[in-house]
Structures are given as structure tokens and as C-alpha cells.
């Protein structure tokens, strides 16, 4: 299979910008739809006369646009039904709580409200700042390690591809106002790991091919050949993870939908950026250096 990905790299860069720019504008103008883990909310402790399931309770909450609430059964065993449960949801006013309770009693039977109170955010601004700081440290360590094993241009190219994937996920979530909770952070970290792995696989093949590089073969052809040699592996890996995440998204229930959606978007972007962004950035950088050296050499000979 013959590829000319490097020859058309500016088209791929333009495609990435077309996807990135609306998301960046959305993040700047409307920000994110942060869930109760970031903003705090209302916690309800309910005791029903008859046992209920999580699915029954969530069905009621969906009709009140509270589908992303956290529902926890209170039981001493692993039973799927219970008379007692906790609900953690957005901040509810007294009127909203009363409407919800009335509907819940009509559909699930009589219950008693043991506790209803407003709670703070699980992930405060300080914790979020620390997570971002840790992410920056991890990126710096990855650059140092990859620079040691490969070269710093490869490290920077790989990190740029990872940032591209993270921004794609953040941008789409902001653009469509999809709610983010604490599991979103786990999804982003998983995407970073996947994207890094995919980029390094391509760069490792390029490094191996450089050892037997023939002078008759152009640098672009060598990178295209390397991408072609890893393309099948990338495709199989992507299909495998998409199958797993797709199953989780479509059959895993409401509580895992946004988590799996973030990974679906991130894995698609990661597979794309590993092939169409990471190594093309590196090639562009190398060619720029070569042109610069050629200009200096020409200027020196005059």
C-alpha cells in the first residue's frame, strides 16, 4: 500500500485547524458545561416504601433533565434493588425539588426524604490547578525521555499531536455543551496515553528505516513508507478500542456515556494525529532546518 501523506501534509494541517478553531472559539466564548463534581450540587437521601432500581430512578430523573446525576443504592449486599438510595445532582431549588419529589412518588411509590442538602464540589479549583500542573510536568518529562531515546524534535512533535487530541476533545465537549464530570479527567489521561503510544510507534518505525535509508530514496518517501508499514497496525488497534468504547457508550448506561464519548473522540483524533500530524510536523521541521543550513552554506560561499 503506497501513501503520500507527507506530500499532502498542509492539507492535513488545514483539516486539523478546521476542526480545532470552532472548538477554541467555543471554549473562549461559552466555556464548558461543568458537572456537579466541579461545581457542587444537591445530595438527596431517600427511603422508599418498596425497593427500586437505579434504572427506575434514572428514568424519572431523565424527564427532569437530571440524567447525569450520580445514583447510589444503599445496601449491605450487592443487590440491584434497595429501599434506600443517594442522589447527587445539580443544585435544586425548593420548587424544583418539590416537582421532582411529586413525580417520583407518583411513579415509584411513597418515600421519605431523610436528607436534602447542598454540597460543595468534589473537584475544587485548587485540585483542578494541581491536575493541570501535574499534566505540564508529565509533558516535560515525556519530552525529556523521548528526546533521550529519539531526539527532541520527535518529542516536541509528539507532544503537539497529543495537545491537538486533547484540544479536539475539549473543543467538541464545549461546542455541544456536553457535561464534564470527574470521569472526564480519567478519559483525557487515557487519550493522552493512547495518543503518545500511537505517535511513538510511527516514529520508532521511522528510526528503524533511517538505519537502512538509501540516498536514492527521498526523506518524504521514507516517512511515507514508515507510515504505510504501521498503518495496518494502527487501524487494527483503533478498531479494537473503538469497539470496546462504542459498546460502553451505547450499552453502558447513562453514567458512562460522556466518559466513553470523550475516549471515542480522543482515540479517533489520536489515531489521526499520529499519522497525519506528528510525523508531518517533524518532517516540516527537519526540512526547515535543512533549508536554513543550505542558505547559510550558500551565503558563506559568496
pTM value? 0.78
Which tens digit of pLDDT belongs to each residue from 146-191? 888 888 899 999 999 999 999 999 999 999 988 887 788 888 889 9
CATH of 6-31+123-288, one of 1.20.1640.10, 2.40.37.10, 3.40.1280.10, 3.40.50.150: 1.20.1640.10
Backbone angles phi, psi at 33, to 5 degrees: -95, 85
pLDDT at 195: 92
d(CA 123, CA 121): 5
The reply to whether CATH 3.30.70.260 applies to domain 41-119 is yes
- Each residue's pLDDT, cut to its tens digit, for the chain (302 residues) gives 567 888 899 999 999 999 999 999 999 998 888 877 777 778 888 888 888 888 888 888 888 888 778 788 876 666 678 888 888 888 888 888 888 888 888 888 888 888 787 766 666 666 677 777 877 888 888 889 888 888 889 999 999 999 999 999 999 999 998 888 778 888 888 998 899 899 999 999 998 888 877 777 778 888 998 999 998 998 999 999 999 999 988 887 767 888 899 999 999 999 999 999 999 999 999 888 888 888 887 765 54
**pLDDT cut 90: percent of the chain above it:** 29
pLDDT at 302: 47
SS (H, E, C) 149-215: HCCHHHHHHHHHHHHHHHHHHHHHHHHCCCEECHHHHHHHHHHHHHHHHHHHHHHHHHHHHHHCCCC
What are the sequence ranges of the domains in the chain? Answer: 6-31+123-288, 41-119
The residues near 267 (Cβ < 8 Å, ≥ 6 apart) are 191, 194, 238, 241, 242, 245
| Cross-strand bridge partners of residue 111 | 48
Distance separating the N- and C-terminal Cα atoms of the chain:
45
pLDDT at 2: 65
pLDDT at 76: 63
Full DSSP string of the chain:
----TTTTHHHHHHHHHHHHHHHHHHHHHT--EE-HHHH-EEEEEEEEEEEEEHHHHHHHHHTTT-TT-EEEEE-SS--SEEEEEEEEES---HHHHHHHHHHHHHHH--EEEEEEEEE--SS-HHHHHHHHHHHHHHHHHHHHHHHHHS-HHHHHHHHHHHHHHHHHHHHHHHHTT-EE-HHHHHHHHHHHHHHHHHHHHHHHHHHHHHHT--TTS-HHHHHHHHHHHHHHHHHHHHHHHHHHHHHHHHHS-GGGHHHHHHHHHHHHHHHHHIIIIIHHHHHHHHHHHHHHHHHHHHHHH-
pLDDT at 286: 87
d(CA 154, CA 161): 11
Amino acid at each position: 500500500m503506497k501513501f503520500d501523506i507527507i506530500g499532502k501534509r498542509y492539507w492535513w494541517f488545514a483539516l486539523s485547524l478546521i476542526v480545532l478553531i470552532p472548538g477554541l472559539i467555543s471554549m473562549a466564548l461559552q466555556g464548558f458545561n461543568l458537572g456537579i463534581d466541579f461545581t457542587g450540587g444537591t445530595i438527596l437521601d431517600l427511603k422508599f416504601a418498596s425497593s427500586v432500581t437505579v434504572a427506575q430512578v434514572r428514568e424519572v430523573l431523565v424527564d427532569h433533565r437530571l440524567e447525569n446525576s450520580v445514583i447510589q443504592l444503599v445496601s449491605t449486599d450487592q443487590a440491584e434493588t434497595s429501599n434506600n438510595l443517594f442522589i447527587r445532582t445539580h443544585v435544586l431549588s425548593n420548587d424544583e425539588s418539590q416537582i421532582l419529589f411529586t413525580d417520583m412518588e407518583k411513579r415509584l411509590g411513597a418515600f421519605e426524604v431523610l436528607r436534602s442538602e447542598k454540597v460543595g464540589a468534589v473537584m475544587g479549583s485548587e485540585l483542578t490547578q494541581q491536575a493541570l500542573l501535574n499534566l505540564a510536568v508529565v509533558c516535560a518529562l515525556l519530552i525529556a525521555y523521548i528526546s533521550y531515546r529519539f531526539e527532541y524534535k520527535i518529542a516536541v512533535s509528539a507532544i503537539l499531536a497529543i495537545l491537538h487530541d486533547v484540544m479536539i476533545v475539549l473543543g467538541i465537549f464545549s461546542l455541544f455543551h456536553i457535561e464534564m464530570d470527574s470521569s472526564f479527567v480519567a478519559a483525557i489521561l487515557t487519550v493522552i496515553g493512547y495518543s503518545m503510544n500511537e505517535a511513538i510507534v510511527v516514529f520508532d518505525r521511522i528510526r528503524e528505516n533511517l538505519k537502512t535509508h538509501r540516498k536514492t530514496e527521498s526523506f518524504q518517501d521514507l516517512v511515507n513508507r514508515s507510515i504505510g508499514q504501521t498503518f495496518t497496525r494502527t487501524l487494527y488497534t483503533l478498531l479494537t478500542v473503538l469497539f470496546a468504547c462504542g459498546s460502553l457508550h451505547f450499552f453502558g448506561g447513562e453514567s458512562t456515556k460522556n466518559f466513553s464519548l470523550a475516549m471515542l473522540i480522543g482515540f479517533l483524533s489520536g489515531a489521526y494525529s499520529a499519522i497525519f500530524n506528528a510525523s508531518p510536523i517533524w518532517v516540516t521541521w527537519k526540512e526547515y532546518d535543512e533549508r536554513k543550513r543550505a542558505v547559510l552554506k550558500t551565503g558563506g560561499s559568496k
